[in-house]
């Protein structure tokens, strides 16, 4: 639209459009004869995506519009992927939570019953480990198709991740009808799966909770279905309705919480380091710190065993502080030998909710262990930031003012607005591994990765590709302009002594001047 119109100016019209429902991300190109700083600032402040000056050159205009259209398509694709599982096409956990809110509100008004079925596949891990992820992925796709065939079109199916699925059934008249549906699902999944002329068999353990009898809110309804699934898992290939006595399962989680609280305070935690590799220079330039729990009875536990429980309690902030303490002390030790080693550390949503406490803790840490704070990269997942964008920006600004390098982790899964992203004090975008995994065969994934890299370049940010497992993936992301990679192609997360033995020499090669934000 033109900046100067007969009855109105384009800036005001742009603002009015942005205030309309579902118009926040529509591409708007302002045409103006004004080429001064004030006009440009006004265009972007009014919500314009871009601007172009008169006199118009058709070729320039065509190219500019084409870029806006392509960017809009990429944005819609990212939004679609933010709420759907990329493998099966089913809605994901985020979409499930949205839909459940609507269904519960509707059922409350209509006084109808709904059921949540929590499914966990039996024997899937063995198939995945023995035959490979490709076969495992094909199996998950077939499972999704069979689930769709077992329920009504109006019912809702989601994949939560891994081998876990959820089915939401509305207008359930009685438990007998619900049992028939659950039995149909079990029987369908018992049928053999044939891949590569080979039959494979799996089954499902299903936990069921019903609204309003078992719970009247989303989180409790899901928790009760989860508890019932654990009960079903004991014998497998069955469905179990939630019963109040299953709360005993919660006591086990509380036991883990207590053990984890003790572990944090009594040196049962250790850090592992996963290197980040510069493809151009062929050296390791940084590492991500990942916590492990050296359990006295269960051995070395990965984060999947305890992080979720820590996040559901107040332990996650203490866990983060421990990781920060150990990481900063280690960076100081390396610095005393003349090595500037960049370490990245993950922050949780609760860490950002208590930014003041986090800032105070970091301030005290740096006093005790004086280091160049830019060597510490603090990572925040995109979905956490998008929960409250403006508050997230303020919290990041506090950390940025302390000199820390900031990164958005799992970028591409949370649908950040471009206008929002450009105002963030962020140095690095970490491209989520879901876009890397299939990019060799999937042109859409390659296009998205290319778009993310171009976006980062335009905003003066750097990129890191996560989950790089093959040389082909490395070559593709490098060819698209992302030269820092992380993943099993380089190394799995390793203990400190192994990291120092295998990778510390790279920092000497860089003459102690490697700083990730300058790469």
Q: What is the pLDDT of residues 335-346, one digit of tens each?
A: 999 999 999 999
Q: Distance between CA atoms of 406 and 387, rounded to whole angstroms?
A: 18
Local confidence band at 294 (pLDDT 50, 70, 90 cut-offs)? very high
Let me know whether 361 and 418 are in one domain: yes
Let me know whether 63 and 101 are in one domain: no
Let me know whether 97 and 234 are in one domain: yes
Let me know whether 76 and 206 are in one domain: no
Let me know whether 127 and 102 are in one domain: yes
Is there a domain that residue 310 lies in? no
pLDDT(108) > 60: yes
Of 1 and 424, the structure prediction assigns the larger pLDDT to 424
Let me know whether 32 and 125 are in one domain: no
Question: Would you mind telling me the total number of residues written for the chain in this entry?
Answer: 519
- Domain-terminating residue out of 29, 62, 82: 82
Let me know whether 423 and 357 are in one domain: yes
- Domain-terminating residue out of 82, 115, 146: 82
Average pLDDT over residues 498-504: 95
Average pLDDT over residues 330-337: 95
Average pLDDT over residues 157-178: 92
Let me know whether 66 and 163 are in one domain: no
CA angle 41, 47, 51 (to 5 degrees): 60
Q: What is the pTM for the complete model shown?
A: 0.57
Let me know whether 151 and 38 are in one domain: no
Let me know whether 356 and 493 are in one domain: yes
Is residue 27 exposed (0-12), middle (13-18) or buried (19+ Cβ within 10 Å)?
A: middle
Is there a domain that residue 255 lies in? no
Average pLDDT over residues 173-191: 92
Average pLDDT over residues 156-163: 92
Tell me the residue range of the domain where 43 lies: 10-82
pLDDT digits (tens, 9 = 90+) for 127-147: 776 677 888 899 999 999 999
Local confidence band at 419 (pLDDT 50, 70, 90 cut-offs)? low
Let me know whether 238 and 194 are in one domain: yes
Is there a domain that residue 149 lies in? yes
Let me know whether 77 and 178 are in one domain: no
Is there a domain that residue 303 lies in? no
pLDDT(396) > 50: yes
- Domain-terminating residue out of 56, 82, 108: 82
Chain mean position to CA 509: 34
Q: 298-335 burial, b for 16+ CB within 10 Å, e for fewer?
A: eeebebeebbebbeebebbbebbbbbbebbbebbbebb
Of 454 and 64, the structure prediction assigns the larger pLDDT to 454
Average pLDDT over residues 495-500: 96
Closest CA to 327 of 357, 371, 294: 371
pLDDT(372) > 60: yes
Domain CATH for 378: 3.20.20.450
Domain CATH for 125: 3.30.70.270
């Amino acid at each position: 639209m033109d900046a100067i119109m007969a009855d109105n100016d384009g800036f005001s019209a742009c603002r009015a459009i942005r205030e309309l429902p579902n118009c926040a991300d529509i591409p708007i190109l302002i045409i103006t004869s004004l080429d001064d700083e004030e006009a440009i600032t006004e265009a972007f402040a009014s919500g314009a995506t871009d601007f172009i000056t008169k006199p118009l050159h058709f070729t320039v205009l065509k190219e500019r519009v084409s870029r806006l259209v392509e960017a809009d398509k990429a944005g819609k694709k990212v939004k679609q992927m933010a709420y759907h599982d990329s493998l099966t096409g089913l809605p994901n956990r985020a979409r499930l939570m949205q839909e459940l809110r609507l269904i519960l509100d509707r059922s409350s008004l209509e006084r109808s019953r709904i059921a949540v079925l929590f499914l966990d596949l039996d024997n899937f891990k063995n198939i995945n480990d023995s035959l490979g992820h490709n076969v495992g992925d094909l199996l998950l796709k077939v499972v999704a198709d069979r689930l769709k065939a077992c329920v009504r079109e109006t019912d809702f199916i989601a994949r939560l991740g891994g081998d876990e699925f959820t089915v939401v059934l509305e207008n359930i008249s009685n438990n007998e009808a619900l049992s028939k549906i659950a039995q149909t699902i079990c029987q369908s999944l018992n049928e053999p799966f044939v891949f590569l002329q080979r039959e494979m068999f799996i089954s499902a353990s299903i936990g069921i909770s019903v609204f309003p009898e078992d719970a009247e809110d989303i989180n409790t309804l899901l928790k009760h279905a989860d508890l019932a699934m654990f009960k079903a898992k004991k014998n497998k290939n069955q469905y179990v309705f939630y019963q109040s006595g299953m709360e005993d399962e919660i006591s086990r989680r509380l036991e883990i919480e207590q053990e984890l609280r003790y572990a944090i305070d009594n040196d049962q935690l250790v850090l592992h380091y996963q290197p980040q590799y510069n493809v151009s220079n062929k050296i390791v330039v940084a590492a991500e710190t990942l916590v492990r729990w050296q359990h006295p009875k269960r051995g070395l536990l990965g984060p999947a065993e305890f992080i979720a429980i820590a996040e559901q309690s107040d332990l996650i902030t203490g866990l983060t502080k421990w990781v920060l303490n150990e990481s900063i002390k280690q960076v100081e030790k390396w610095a005393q030998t003349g090595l500037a080693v960049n370490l990245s550390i993950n922050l949780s949503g609760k860490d950002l909710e208590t930014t003041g406490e986090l800032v105070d803790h970091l301030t005290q840490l740096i006093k005790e262990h004086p280091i160049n704070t830019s060597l510490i990269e603090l990572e925040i997942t995109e979905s956490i930031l998008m929960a409250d964008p403006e508050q997230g920006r303020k919290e990041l600004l506090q950390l940025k003012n302390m000199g820390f390098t900031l990164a958005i982790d799992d970028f591409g899964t949370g649908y950040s607005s471009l206008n929002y992203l450009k105002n963030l004090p962020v140095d690095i975008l970490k491209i989520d591994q879901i876009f890397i995994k299939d990019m060799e065969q999937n042109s859409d994934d390659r296009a998205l990765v290319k778009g993310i890299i171009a976006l980062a370049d335009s905003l003066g940010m750097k990129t890191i590709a996560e989950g790089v497992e093959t040389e082909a993936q490395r070559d593709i992301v490098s060819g698209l302009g992302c030269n820092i990679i992380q993943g099993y192609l380089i190394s799995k997360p390793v203990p400190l002594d192994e990291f120092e033995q295998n990778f510390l020499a790279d920092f000497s090669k860089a003459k102690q001047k490697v700083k990730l934000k300058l790469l």
